[in-house]
Chain A
Amino acid sequence: MITLDDVTLTFPDGSSRVTAVDRVSLTGKAGVLTGITGPSGSGKSSLLAIAATLIRPDSGRVIVGDVDASTLSKDDATTLRREQIGIVFQQSNLLPSLTAREQLAVMAELGGRNARRRRRQVRSRTDELLDAVGLADHADKRPAQLSGGQRQRVAIARALVHEPEVLLVDEPTSALDQERGAAIMELIAHLTHERETATLLVTHDLVHEHLLDTLVTVVDGRIVSRTVGSDAIMDDDLAHRLTEV
């Protein structure tokens, strides 16, 4: 599970500061696919960066599992990402020199303690995960030999190979056509439910809304609505701002 509790993030903007995330509270539960949507510049990617421990918020807490990530040092945050968080980037961000199988194996080669044990665990899961994302026959291919959809599948497998508690996905379909995008979204939803990961997925494309278990809409750094299943819970004040946008 991941909990963002009253999180605020600001960036310097000339002599003043601009608020990217404004007192956001959000919980991603195990086995639940939570979509985060909103217009460009609304702060959804900043929210994901905070959840990924890549940025420390100005205030509020980020709880991953039972760890308060907002108080961790840089090194401890790195360890947390390595052990409990899986990230799927907007682009696949695969390493060009590695084959699909090695893209997963690299997760056991990131330094830190217990490298031997992690190597053993990753090795045992690699083929199963490549099979789960439909790439068992492409394990020895490098990124340049794979299509965009296949690359994103490898990225999803890489994000899951260390069995993270939390999966963070940033616009996974932005570089794909409709058909491939739908397949990727279905795969993420399936793996979230099957592997019981708490998944936060940033998207501005609501074509695949039906695959999300929960959807939060962010505008100007604040959550303006939450949809659980088919029930929308709208903040009246902010709904007005949403319609303006």
Chain B
Amino acid sequence: MFVAWRDLRFARGRFVLIGAVVALITLLVGFLAGLTGGLASQNVSGILELPGDRVVLQHPSSGQASFSESSISSDSVQKWRDASGVTHVLPVGIVQGKAGVHGTTTAVALFGMPHGAATSTVTDLAPRADDEIGLSAGAAKALGDATAGDTVSILGSKYRVSSVGGDAWYSHTPVIALTPDAWARADKSMGGDGSVTMLAVSGTPDWGAVATASGTVAQVPLLSLSALDAFKSEIGSLGLMIVMLFGISALVVGAFFTVWTMQRSGDVAVLKALGATTRSLRRDALGQALVVLIIGIGLGMLVVVALGTLAGGALPFLLSPLTTVAPAAAMAVLGLLGAAVALRTVTKSDPLTALGSNR
């Protein structure tokens, strides 16, 4: 790194430019990852927060399982409860509707769940009585900062808020929890049959066999999200944008370092003629790229975290290791891969050209 550090110091302007481009790309990738994470969270956090090893949905007669179409009969629920290896079955009814308080109306996701299930952000919302509801933080905020004791109107029925809990969302609507009976009534009032939508099942049964026997499909929670149409299309588009940005970043960083290394090929030839090992020259070049990448990515991520913190209230933005550390690490790896392409110039540089070269 002897020459690399001094090159960085000497050609400061050039490296500031490369670092700034890396920082800008990181900002784009990080911000998009944060927005994607935020949107995803507003789409599926209610499902992912449910306790269970598998999400069980009705197996449709045609097409793929879907949260919006799924309706699991009590027979199927019982088959899962009776299955060998199953330790816990949590039936959950999900339907989207409207809730209102003091003239404020908002779209919500109604989750019907029994009180006392294994603790989680969602199950903790489940009320004890049929005339009570539990509000997620998002629902409370949307209902004019409703608090415990307030009365909320849902599909013509009045409910008393028993608790306000953590954040949970389903298909961009905040979750409100009802008892299974209250939920069934609400579902029927909207044309449903009151059957639960899904089961959160824990244990180690023969998943495939029980699912076949009960006319259902069982998937790990993350994979089950593909049964949520809005999530699939949203994540598909945003994910593609992120992947393309990663590709661009590798290309840009690679191009920068290829040009830079080509400009240095004379120096490399001289160093080789003086006795430098190709390994030490490669280490120098990659080390230099790594320094620029770390500084650029670090600065970019700082801005992402700052903007994400500021925008958190106004935008669905998720700040987590998955939306900051992971894209930053991917950027660094892709950047180094791009820079590694430039190493060919170092490897192929002929020390003989140093003799008689006019530099």
A-B pair count, CB < 8 Å, reads 95
B7, A110: Cβ atoms under 8 Å? no
Give chain B residues whose Cβ lies under 8 Å from the Cβ of A102.
Answer: 2, 6
Select the residue from A85, A98, A110, A112 with max chain B CB neighbours within 10 A. A110
Complex partner residue of B274 from A48, A55, A75, A87, CB under 8 angstroms: A87
Name 7 A/B residue pairs within 8 A (Cβ), A-sorted.
A49-B355, A52-B355, A79-B275, A82-B274, A89-B356, A110-B280, A111-B283
Q: Is A203 an interface residue (CB 8 A)?
A: no
Binds A, one of B68-76, B161-169, B207-215, B264-272: B264-272
Tell whether A93 pairs with B280 under 8 Å between CB atoms, given A81-B275, A98-B3: no
Select the residue from B271, B277, B356, B358 with max chain A CB neighbours within 10 A. B356
B274, A110: Cβ atoms under 8 Å? yes
Q: Is B118 an interface residue (CB 8 A)?
A: no
Tell whether A89 pairs with B280 under 8 Å between CB atoms, given A97-B7, A170-B356: no
- Measured CA separation A49–B283 after assembly (Å): 27
Residue interface mask A66-89, B partner, CB < 8 A = 1? 000000000100111111010101
Give chain B residues whose Cβ lies under 8 Å from the Cβ of A107.
Answer: 274-275
Complex partner residue of B273 from A54, A79, A83, A98, CB under 8 angstroms: A54
A170, B280: Cβ atoms under 8 Å? no
- B313-359 contacts to A (CB < 8 Å): 351-352, 354-359
A91, B357: Cβ atoms under 8 Å? yes
- Measured CA separation A48–B273 after assembly (Å): 12
Q: Is A186 an interface residue (CB 8 A)?
A: no
B352, A78: Cβ atoms under 8 Å? no
Interface range for B: 20 to 34
Q: Is A131 an interface residue (CB 8 A)?
A: no
A93, B277: Cβ atoms under 8 Å? no
Min CB distance A37 to B, Å, is 16
Q: Is A41 an interface residue (CB 8 A)?
A: no
A89, B272: Cβ atoms under 8 Å? no
Residue interface mask B222-244, A partner, CB < 8 A = 1? 00000000000000000000000
A82, B356: Cβ atoms under 8 Å? no
Q: Which residue of A lies closest to B5 (CB)?
A: A97
Complex partner residue of A112 from B2, B3, B272, B277, CB under 8 angstroms: B277
Give chain A residues whose Cβ lies under 8 Å from the Cβ of B7.
Answer: 97
Residue interface mask A107-135, B partner, CB < 8 A = 1? 10111100000000000000000000000
B276, A55: Cβ atoms under 8 Å? no
Min CB distance B249 to A, Å, is 27
Give chain A residues whose Cβ lies under 8 Å from the Cβ of B358.
Answer: 90-91
Q: Which residue of B lies closest to A95 (CB)?
A: B267
B279, A111: Cβ atoms under 8 Å? yes
Give chain B residues whose Cβ lies under 8 Å from the Cβ of A79.
Answer: 275
- Measured CA separation A95–B280 after assembly (Å): 16
- Can you list the 9 inter-chain pairs with the closest CB atoms, starting with the nearest? A82-B275, A111-B280, A111-B277, A97-B10, A109-B2, A110-B276, A81-B275, A97-B6, A93-B270
B275, A95: Cβ atoms under 8 Å? no
